[in-house]
Amino acid sequence: MSCIFCQIINREAPASIVYEDDLAIAFLDIEPVSEGHVLVIPKSHHARFAEMNPKTAGHLFEVAHKILKAIQASNIPCEGANLFLTDGEIAGQEVMHSHLHIAPRIRGDKHRYGYVHAEQSDYPRERLNQIADEISKLLNP
């Protein structure tokens, strides 16, 4: 298996593991954006987030919740954190084994969001409602 994250799960590649259970494993990012940058990954290989079973997807957030509390209780500087997931190359995903990032943030760390927001006037309520309908009609009740 050439997936580096599967190799970490199988102990075929080294990693600094912080947590493991039946469904997930979490370890430190090898090129952290901040001290304590953790990746939470499912033990099953899925390139994309939506390919995961929903229970597994939800579990990643449960694990991230535990880990963030541990980081906050530790000596690692953490005034806030970004929890993020890059889904697909266009969104910046480099390792095609879907994973959730936890990146502690501190004042003055120089990180910035890369998003460009539209003006509210570009999305009047009618347009927002159309988009919401487009999504909600495909969701199960």
Site of interaction with ligand 5GP (CB under 6 A)? 4, 15, 27, 29-31, 39, 86, 92-95
> From Zn ion, ligand 5GP, none, which one binds at residue 56 (CB under 5 to 8 Å depending on kind)?
none
Percent composition of the chain: helix, strand, coil (DSSP 3-state, to 5): 35, 20, 50
Active site residue 99: yes
Q: H-helix or E-strand containing 25?
A: strand 24-28
> From ligand 5GP, Zn ion, none, which one binds at residue 57 (CB under 5 to 8 Å depending on kind)?
none
Annotated active-site residue in 46, 99, 101, 111: 99
Considering only residues 109-138, where is the footprint of Zn ion by CB under 5 A? none
| Interacting residue ranges for Zn ion, rule: CB under 5 A | 3, 5-6, 45, 97
